[in-house]
Amino acid sequence: MTVEELKNLITVEDVKKHTPKDILESVTFNSESLGVDDTVIERAIDVAVRKLFIKLKKCGKSDLTDDEKEIAKLYLLKDAIYQLYTMNETENISADKLQEARQILKDWLGDCGNEEPKKITTIKVVCYERNFPF
C-alpha cells in the first residue's frame, strides 16, 4: 500500500464531518479568506497518512484487506483531527483523539515496529600483574 493509496482512504470532507464546526473554524481559520482553510486539513491528513505508512512498513504490511482499510480510515480520521489541534498548538484538548488512534493501531497491528533495540552490556575484565610491592 502506497502513501497515495492511504491518502485516498480519507478526504477533507470526512474530517470536516467528524469535527465540530466551531472547533474546525478555530483550528483551520484563514485570515485572508475569513473561513475554513482546506489546505490545513490536507496537511493534517498528510501527516497522519505518513505516520500510518511508516507503521505499516515496520510491521511488514503491504496489502490491506477491505476490513483493514476501514480500520486504517478510522485511524487516519482520529489522527488527522489530532494533527489539526497540534498545528494550532492545542493538542492537549484532543489528547483523547491521539489515545484512540494509538489504541486502534495497537489493537490492529499489535506491538510490531515498537521493538526496542536490545541493549548489550559487555564487561571486560582486565588483570594486571603487580610487579611492585606496596
Render pLDDT for 81-131 as a digit per residue (tens, 0 to 9): 888 887 766 556 666 677 777 777 777 777 765 544 445 555 666 666 666
Residue 65 falls inside a structural domain: yes
Residue 31 falls inside a structural domain: yes
Neighbours of 4 (CB within 10 A): 9
Residue 115 falls inside a structural domain: no
CA distance 5 to 50: 11
List, for residues 108-122, the tens digit of each pLDDT value: 777 765 544 445 555
Domain residue limits at 27: 3-109
Residue 83 falls inside a structural domain: yes
Residue 69 falls inside a structural domain: yes
Q: How many structural domains is the chain composed of?
A: 1
Helices 95-109 and 66-87, packing angle to 10 deg = 150
Residue 126 falls inside a structural domain: no
